[in-house]
């Protein structure tokens, strides 16, 4: 178990962590590539700064669960490439902000499950999984299940969003049970499945402020505004 507050800046060109447990960590990492493989994280905080550095969370041979059963835990990234692949992110206790918050970054979610993530309704700016500001977001073959937040699963502002072959189900939100899009965001949703999501406004997808949304080959079943 690694439990500490760590600030890393240009010590190594690449930091690789494999098959470890991270607990009660507060990491600030500047200007370096980071790989975290086959590891378990609980109450872990990461802040990444860089000019197009690469951040990878991936499961190879062992289950990878980020922030499992932790009261807090999140990743915040500025000007990075962030990939989450073949992973499971879950939260069985209330969190304070989105698990992932990115600014001017590129994010790829592949073959990943996001489930049981809950944020307090008083947090007006966050979604359950990802809050994106001026970023490029690509999501393929993922599942968002039983999450709860004011802005649904994903909140994108001034961003480009592409979602493919992904399921959104049983989410509770205030704006957009599946997706909450605003401020000149362009979104494409293809071959996706929205079922049993509910929100005060827009059970499946909420869009406002010059947002463009193109949906194709997708199913919407029993979503509702309440």
Give pLDDT, residue 171.
94
More confident residue, 155 or 27: 155
- In the prediction, which pLDDT does 214 show? 97
Q: Contact 75/99 with Cβ under 8 angstroms?
A: yes
Tell which phi-psi region holds residue 92, choosing left (phi > 0), alpha (psi between -120 and 50) or beta. alpha
Q: Is residue 68 scored above 70 in pLDDT?
A: no
| Range of the structural domain that residue 39 is part of | 5-225
Query: For residues 185 and 207, what is the distance between their CA atoms, to the nearest angstrom?
Result: 9
**Residue 125 CB contacts under 8 Å (≥ 6 apart), including other chains:** 131, 150, 151, 155
Asked whether the beta carbons of 168 and 177 are under 8 A apart, the reply is yes
Give 110-149 pLDDT, tens digit per residue.
Answer: 988 888 888 876 567 778 888 889 999 999 999 999 999 8
Q: What is the band of 53 on the pLDDT scale with cuts at 50, 70, 90?
A: low
**Per-residue confidence at 29, pLDDT binned at 50, 70, 90?**
confident
As a whole number, mean pLDDT of residues 198-219 equals 95
DSSP state of 2: B
Whose structure tokens read 């049983």? 170
What does the alpha-carbon distance between residue 38 and residue 81 come to, in Å, rounded to a whole number? 19
Higher pLDDT, 158 or 43: 158
pLDDT at 71: 39
Average pLDDT over residues 4-30: 65
Cβ contact 64:88 at 8 Å: yes
Instruction: Count CB neighbours of 59 within 10 A.
Output: 18
Count the helices and strands in the chain (H runs, E runs).
Answer: 0, 27
The mean pLDDT value of the chain amounts to 81
Q: pLDDT band for position 164 (50/70/90)?
A: very high
What are the Cα distances from residue 121, in Å, to 1, 96, 108, 208, 214? 33, 10, 27, 20, 28
Is the pLDDT at 70 greater than 80? The verdict is no
pTM: 0.83
Q: What pLDDT, on the 0 to 100 scale, is given for residue 212?
A: 95
DSSP reduced 3-state for 38: coil
- The per-residue pLDDT for range 166-199, each reduced to its tens digit, is 999 999 999 999 999 999 999 999 999 999 999 9
Q: Could you give the CA distance from residue 172 to residue 197 in angstroms, rounded to a whole number?
A: 6
What's the structural domain count of the chain? 1
CA 175 remoteness from chain centre: 17
Confidence at residue 26, expressed as pLDDT on a 0 to 100 scale = 79
């Amino acid at each position: 178990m690694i439990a500490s507050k760590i600030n890393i800046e240009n010590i190594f060109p690449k930091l690789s962590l494999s098959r470890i447990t991270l607990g009660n960590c507060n990491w600030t990492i500047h200007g370096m590539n980071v790989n975290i493989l086959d590891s378990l994280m609980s109450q872990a905080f990461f802040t990444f700064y860089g000019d197009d550095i690469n951040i990878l969370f991936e499961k190879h041979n062992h289950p990878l669960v980020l922030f499992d059963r932790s009261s807090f835990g999140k990743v915040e990234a500025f000007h990075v490439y962030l990939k989450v692949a073949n992973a499971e992110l879950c939260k069985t206790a209330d969190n304070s902000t989105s698990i992932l918050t990115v600014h001017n970054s590129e994010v790829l979610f592949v073959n990943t499950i996001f489930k049981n993530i809950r944020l307090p309704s008083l947090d007006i700016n966050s979604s359950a999984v990802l809050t994106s500001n001026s970023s490029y977001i690509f999501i393929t073959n993922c599942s968002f299940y039983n999450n709860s937040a004011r802005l649904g699963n994903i909140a994108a502002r001034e961003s480009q969003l592409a979602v493919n072959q992904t399921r959104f189900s049983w989410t509770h939100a205030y704006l957009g049970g599946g997706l909450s899009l605003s401020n000149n965001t362009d979104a494409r949703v293809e071959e996706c499945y929205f079922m049993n999501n509910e929100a005060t406004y827009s059970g499946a997808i909420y869009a406002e402020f010059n947002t463009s949304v193109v949906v194709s080959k997708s199913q919407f079943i029993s979503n509702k505004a309440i």
